[in-house]
Chain A
Amino acid sequence: MIDEAELDHLMELAKLKLSAAEQEQIRGDLNAILGYFSALEQLDTEGVPELARPVELENVLREDQPGPMFSQEEALGLAAAREQGFFKVPRVVE
């Protein structure tokens, strides 16, 4: 059950600000969905290993050789704000 305090915590973790009306709506939705998800509790998964991805994979390594990459101009072309060849972002460290 997600109460108001829990939703505040989730909004902080997810860096997502909701309006008061949205909070009420989404909290109701999330609790209804969680109720539905509780069906999983019925299944016995004792000793069953997790399956994180459907195919067994091994890590793939390659030689660390430079290849084609974006130019500075291409990378900055998407920036919300830029200054002197850098991404301009709000102050992070006080």
Chain B
Amino acid sequence: MPETALQLAARVGRGQLGPAEPAAQSLARIRASDDRLHAFLSLREDAPERASRLGRSAFLGLPLAGVPVAIKDNLNLVGTVTSCGSRMLANYRSPYTATVVERLERAGAVVVGKTNLDEFAMGSSTENSAFGATRNPWDLGRVPGGSSGGSAAAVAGGQVPLALGSDTGGSVRLPAAFCGVLGFKPTYGRLSRYGLVAFASSLDQVGVLARSSADLAAALDVMCGIDPLDSTSIDHPPSFTAALDLGISGLRVGWIRQALRGNHPAVERAMATVQQVLEAGGARFGEADLPTLEAAVPAYYLIADSEASSNLARYDGMLYGLRSGGSDYSAVMAESRAEGFGQEVKRRVLMGTYALSSGYYDAYYSKAMRVRRLIARDFAAAFGAYDLLLCPTAAEPAFPIGERSADPLAMYRTDVYTVGISLAGLPALSLPAGYAQVDGKQLPVGIQLIAPALRDELILAVSQHFERVTEGRFFGIAPGFA
């Protein structure tokens, strides 16, 4: 739908539009376009009816009154299947609701469906889903990025104005860049992880995808804050909506030197555009040196795989999820996991098991955690000189479906600019800032804005400034889906 979340909420919140209307329109758009995109794994067909039952008055004055939202299928919502894109959980019906989803609903949002993802959020293209790949709305022959590719395609394809994803090493930011929408990963701890299916617990964060900075801020405002059910959640959130008008005058901005070379020309043009717009608004630019960042990809994958091997041990075929393998308990475990997990998940579980196993722990897992400390120190030093750091979200625009799916290392290298930020737990936004022309198609590219921990709101101020000056011309619905 072309309207922003806040435009819809204003009309429903004032009683000018029935609360079921936006959800009904959104579902109609999904039905009309999802055979092309495959952004959704399941639809909540009764979403309009649920909104109607609550009644018009229940939505009056709510910040997200009637706003249709899509949520990644690794977020629990009671009564819905939460498959994580895996055969393991194909029939898992959530008995409870994630805190972030509950808070969105309490603010008036209406969940219309669950979106596709790489299995257990492990991937950079949404090709690793057990239920088929999602396609990029800008070019159906290309990937939407991953792992929150379904959420990004749903927002860029005009199916919903707002979606939730999760970001462990770039899984919100990369698909946002490839699909030309805003994708924000807050500081680790800003958003509750209760009800988000665990992949790598020291890295996982819920993230938001939208087509306007104000929508992003509104969603963050209703979701942030401490949650007694997540001991890593942080209290005293800022007002993101108030931060939209902070302005950028005097802001010290640093390009990350390690990310300046080897980028697609369209990415370089987008970098120039961002610099030009921010400089005209009074920001000052320089370069920041983060030498250890070169080691971010191996450090990230060692840590994420290790944590995943531990977190995914719960899928043992015993209490829930797929069960296979007869009457011997050991065979049930081994065969349920063999049948339930796809290739990439198996690779990562085995790699993580190796990195944590006796004799290799120091050389791999422990080493990676020390490198993680060095990367965090590099960021801390850079933020001594700069308020905000910038680098591309990815070196290139979206790649063709199938190009990297047989080559795990090529897929991992796609994440070169996002994973270091995750290791340091920092907030970052992928800002759509330009287009590449590839094979006659227009493909979006994104630039990351990175702030110090707990200064998330600064990013929103910059995003809003950029959106206003560029009149939102990089933030639109993909052609063919408007």
Contact = CB atoms under 8 A, between A and B. Distances in A.
Interface in A49-94: 49-55, 57, 59-60, 62, 70, 74-75, 77-81, 87, 89-92
A16 B337 CA distance: 6
B232 A57 contact: yes
Contacts, number: 166
A91 B453 CA distance: 49
Label chain B's interface by main secondary structure. Answer: helix
A94 B371 CA distance: 46
Nearest to B317: A80
B232 A48 contact: no
Contacts of B350: 7, 10-11, 14, 16, 26, 30
Contacts of B203: 54
B416 to A, nearest CB: 12
Contacts of A49: 370, 373
Contact of B367 (A9, A11, A25, A40): A40
Interface in B362-399: 364, 366-374, 376
A43 to B, nearest CB: 6
A15 B333 contact: yes
Nearest to B365: A50
A43 B374 contact: yes
A71 to B, nearest CB: 9
A92 B327 CA distance: 10
Interface centre among B228, B328, B349, B370 (most CB of A within 10 A): B370
Contacts of B426: 54
Nearest to B230: A60
A9 B328 CA distance: 19
A81 B323 contact: yes
Contact of A15 (B228, B337, B371): B337
A89 to B, nearest CB: 5
Contacts of B23: none
B282 to A, nearest CB: 31
A-side interface mostly = loop
A42 B222 CA distance: 45
B338 A17 contact: yes
Interface residues of B, number: 71
Interface in A30-46: 30, 32-33, 36-37, 39-43, 45
B364 A37 contact: yes
Nearest to A39: B298
B285 interface: no
Contact of A90 (B95, B232, B298, B328): B328
Contacts of B318: 80, 87, 89
B317 A13 contact: no
Given A26-B346, A43-B292, A78-B319, A48 B370 contact: yes
B335 interface: yes
Interface stretch (B128-136, B249-257, B351-359): B351-359
B302 interface: yes
B51 to A, nearest CB: 25
Nearest to B352: A14
B295 interface: yes
Interface string B70-98: 00000000000000000000001101100
A10 B341 CA distance: 16
Nearest to B291: A43
B231 interface: yes
A29 interface: yes
A41 B298 CA distance: 11
A48 B295 CA distance: 15
Contact of A54 (B313, B323, B412, B423): B423
A59 B341 CA distance: 33
10 contacts: A14-B309, A15-B337, A16-B338, A18-B346, A29-B347, A40-B302, A49-B370, A54-B188, A54-B424, A54-B453
Interface of B: 92-93, 95-96, 187-189, 202-203, 228, 231-232, 234, 292, 295, 297-299, 301-302, 309, 313, 316-323, 326-335, 337-338, 341, 343, 346-347, 349-351, 353-354, 357, 364, 366-374, 376, 408-409, 412, 423-426, 453
